[in-house]
RNA sequence: GGCCCGUUCGUCUAGGGGUCUAGGACAUCUCCCUUUCACGGAGGAAACACGGGUUCGAUUCCCGUACGGGCUACCA
């Protein structure tokens, strides 16, 4: 027998924007598949019509694209197991067929209970002291289903068009064991598993049936999903068994969950709003409520940084390397290095990753990207020296190691593109003395007579002017900074002056002096 | 409540019987660099949840407890 081709799938339901935890699941699926030369598929599990959100599927595809997670097969790219949307597969009767097969073999049954009847059953059990009421091997005996009703009664219900579901007939008292790639052997007694609904009354399959049928039909080798599925995995094992598919059952891997940065519980959209970080890869606006959620992309994160950061939530390479390209992640990924416990998300570390990727950019590349933004933001003309690549490259060089996001280049460096109107009051209050005016006037004069206006000359001029005026450089350096930039702290002073050039420096000094006098 | 999974610095984690004086990164603190603030450099503080076993020896294996997380729907 030949070795089964590695095929993984990411199978989200289109109920809204893709959470970063979902992106991480997709990433791990992708990394594992690629590491082994396999395929990564995207399947849409839209079996809950009440929760369907238009645009969500497009969002998912766009998010994976942005991250550089390439879909080999599935929604948006097609493939030989089409369709890849479960609602469309349902139309073809795929799930019904297998549900009926299980009924025929005695492993599933029809249930006619109404919502009220189910509610009554639960209340009854709770009243009797059962804290976890379930529709299971015990309670099904008291309910309205093809196990308790006569064949005629069942036929009558069908004839009358009474709605029904198909439930899994879970045996009692059996130890169900399976091997999880991350957790090892997991065993659960089948008496604890409820008779899960396989097919809903609207004809749609539930996740339990649908993912199994599709995983087998699509020849999935590894089912990688969140830890929230671990408790229902035994039921899934049973379904494989009842369908005679144990041999083609994929290997399961249950990933640890992403936890809130603070407090208890898993990471949620609310945490992002509350703590001010994105929880989604891209911006999203809910078509029904109009509610907006912000994304990493729009917040200025590089997709490479986002992916790198996500990979380290629950996985590690076993070495001290932290910066990984997608190619390197693929090369090094393995389930042995996936941690078992949930990972608390740290927004600060996320920023750090972005900073690292920003550092890797050349000043030229950053300057290039900045040109049009600077032009429009500061209202500059086409021939303004400040949008020349020479000026921009120097400005970026001054700024680059001080920021974490490209947008900060402009926010934190605005004074490089525009003379200040306001000057740091605190510095002025502390350092400015009217008698310093003569020094600055002398400085302006000396600077204007410079033939070559570079950092060496400017530095020397400042020092010599100070010396002649009998002033210590410490008294005027920060003032000088405030006069030209408005701020008490910022990029290298002399480098900034050289960047500005003689005329700009003198203009700014004159403007500032007029203001403080 | 029941069931399942988990538990190494504040956080992400390495290490899986002796090499652990428990390593790295983020955050934090100190110093250096810088007449600024960052960056960078050096250094510091900071963890094996607890209790029992097993063993010559346990952070590492087993059990229990505590704590955390998840599940407990005709949602995924």
- The pLDDT tens digits for A230-288 are 999 999 999 999 999 999 999 999 999 999 999 889 999 999 999 999 999 999 999 99
The nucleotide whose C1' lies nearest the CA of A183 is: B5
The nucleotide whose C1' lies nearest the CA of A258 is: B69
Q: Tell me the CA–C1' distance in angstroms for A266 and B57.
A: 40
Q: Tell me the CA–C1' distance in angstroms for A464 and B1.
A: 81
Element containing residue A73 per DSSP (H, E)? strand A73-74
State the Cα–Cα distance between residues A53 and A130, nearest whole angstrom. Answer: 37
Give me the pLDDT at residue A263, please: 82
Q: What percent of chain A has pLDDT over 70?
A: 99
Residue nearest to nucleotide B3 (CA to C1'): A192
Q: Flag the least confident range among A82-86, A164-168, A173-177, A416-420.
A: A173-177
Q: Tell me the CA–C1' distance in angstroms for A361 and B76.
A: 40
Neighbours of A211 (CB within 10 A): 24
Q: Tell me the CA–C1' distance in angstroms for A293 and B16.
A: 42
Look up the ipTM and state it: 0.95
Give me the pLDDT at residue A4, please: 81
State the Cα–Cα distance between residues A345 and A279, nearest whole angstrom. Answer: 10
The nucleotide whose C1' lies nearest the CA of A353 is: B26
Residue nearest to nucleotide B1 (CA to C1'): A131
Structure tokens, A401? 């190691």
Q: Tell me the CA–C1' distance in angstroms for A94 and B39.
A: 60
Give the mean pLDDT of chain A: 96
Alpha helices in A109-195 (DSSP H): 115-127, 151-159
Residue nearest to nucleotide B67 (CA to C1'): A264
Q: Tell me the CA–C1' distance in angstroms for A347 and B10.
A: 14
Active-site choice (A260, A269, A377, A412): A269
The nucleotide whose C1' lies nearest the CA of A265 is: B69
pTM, two decimals, is 0.95
Using CA atoms, how far residue A262 sits from A65, A207, A230, A271, A281, in Å, is: 30, 31, 25, 9, 21
Residue nearest to nucleotide B24 (CA to C1'): A320
**pLDDT-based confidence at A1, cuts 50/70/90?**
very low
Q: Tell me the CA–C1' distance in angstroms for A426 and B30.
A: 27
The nucleotide whose C1' lies nearest the CA of A227 is: B70
Give me the pLDDT at residue A192, please: 92
Residue nearest to nucleotide B72 (CA to C1'): A132
Give me the pLDDT at residue A446, please: 97
Neighbours of A241 (CB within 10 A): 13
Give me the pLDDT at residue A3, please: 67
State the Cα–Cα distance between residues A207 and A239, nearest whole angstrom. Answer: 12
The nucleotide whose C1' lies nearest the CA of A194 is: B72
The nucleotide whose C1' lies nearest the CA of A481 is: B36
What mean pLDDT comes out for the span A154-174?
97
Handedness of CA A49, A269, A23, A318 (dihedral sign): negative
Residue A269 bears catalytic tag: yes
The string of pLDDT tens digits covering residues A490-500 is 999 999 999 99
Element containing residue A477 per DSSP (H, E)? helix A473-485
State the Cα–Cα distance between residues A123 and A147, nearest whole angstrom. Answer: 22
Q: Tell me the CA–C1' distance in angstroms for A7 and B61.
A: 36
Q: Tell me the CA–C1' distance in angstroms for A316 and B56.
A: 35
Give me the pLDDT at residue A130, please: 87
The string of pLDDT tens digits covering residues A382-424 is 999 999 999 999 999 999 999 999 999 999 999 999 999 999 9
**Residue A236 exposure: Cα atoms within 13 Å on the Cβ side:** 23
Q: Tell me the Cα Rg of chain A.
A: 33
Is the pLDDT at A474 greater than 80? The verdict is yes
**pLDDT-based confidence at A38, cuts 50/70/90?**
very high
A171 phi and psi angles, rounded to 5 deg: -70, 160
Protein CB footprint (7 Å) on chain B nucleotides? 1-8, 10-15, 23-27, 34-39, 68-76
């Amino acid at each position: 027998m030949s070795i089964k081709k590695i095929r993984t799938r990411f199978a989200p339901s289109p109920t809204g924007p893709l959470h970063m935890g979902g992106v991480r699941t997709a990433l791990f699926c992708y990394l594992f598949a690629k590491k082994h030369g396999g395929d990564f598929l995207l399947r849409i599990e839209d079996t809950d019509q009440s929760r369907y959100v238009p645009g969500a599927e497009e969002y998912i595809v766009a998010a994976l694209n942005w991250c550089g997670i390439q879909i080999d097969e599935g929604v948006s790219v097609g493939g030989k197991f089409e369709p890849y949307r479960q609602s469309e597969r349902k139309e073809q009767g795929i799930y019904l067929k297998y549900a009926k097969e299980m009924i025929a073999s005695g492993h599933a049954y029809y249930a006619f209970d109404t919502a009220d009847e189910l509610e009554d059953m639960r209340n009854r059990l709770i009243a009797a002291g059962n804290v976890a009421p379930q529709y299971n091997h015990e309670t099904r005996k008291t309910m309205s289903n093809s196990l308790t009703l006569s064949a005629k009664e069942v036929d009558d219900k069908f004839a009358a068009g009474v709605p029904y579901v198909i439930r899994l007939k879970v045996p009692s008292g059996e130890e169900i064991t399976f091997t999880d790639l991350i957790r090892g052997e997991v065993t659960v007694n089948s008496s604890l598993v409820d008779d899960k609904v396989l097919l809903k009354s609207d004809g749609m399959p539930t996740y339990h049936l649908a993912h199994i049928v599709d995983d087998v039909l699509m020849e999935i080798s590894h089912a990688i999903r969140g830890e929230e599925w671990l408790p229902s995995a035994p039921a899934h094992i049973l379904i494989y068994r009842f369908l005679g598919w144990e041999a083609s059952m994929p290997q399961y891997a249950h990933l640890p969950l992403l936890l809130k940065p603070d407090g208890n519980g898993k990471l949620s959209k609310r945490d992002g709003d509350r703590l001010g970080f994105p929880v989604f890869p891209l911006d999203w606006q809910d078509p029904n409520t109009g509610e907006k959620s912000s994304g990493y992309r729009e917040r200025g994160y590089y997709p490479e940084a986002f992916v790198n950061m996500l990979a380290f939530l629950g996985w590690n390479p076993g070495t001290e390397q932290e910066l990984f390209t997608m190619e390197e992640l693929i090369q090094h990924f393995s389930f042995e290095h996936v941690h078992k416990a949930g990972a608390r998300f740290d927004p600060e570390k996320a920023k750090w990753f972005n900073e690292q990727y920003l550092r890797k950019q050349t000043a030229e590349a950053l300057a290039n990207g900045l040109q049009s933004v600077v032009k429009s933001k500061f209202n500059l003309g086409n021939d303004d020296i400040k949008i020349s690549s020479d000026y921009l490259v120097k400005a970026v060089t001054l700024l680059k190691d001080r920021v974490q996001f490209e947008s900060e280049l402009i926010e934190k460096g605005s004074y490089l593109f525009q003379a200040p109107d306001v000057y740091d009051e605190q510095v002025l209050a502390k350092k400015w003395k009217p008698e310093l005016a003569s020094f600055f006037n002398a400085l302006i004069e000396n600077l204007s007579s410079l033939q070559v206006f570079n950092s060496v000359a400017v530095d020397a001029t400042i020092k010599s002017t100070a010396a002649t005026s009998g002033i210590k450089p410490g008294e005027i350096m920060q003032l000088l900074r405030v006069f030209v930039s408005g701020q008490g702290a910022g990029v290298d002073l002399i480098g900034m002056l050289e960047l500005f050039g003689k005329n700009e420096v003198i203009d700014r000094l004159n403007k500032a002096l007029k203001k403080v006098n």
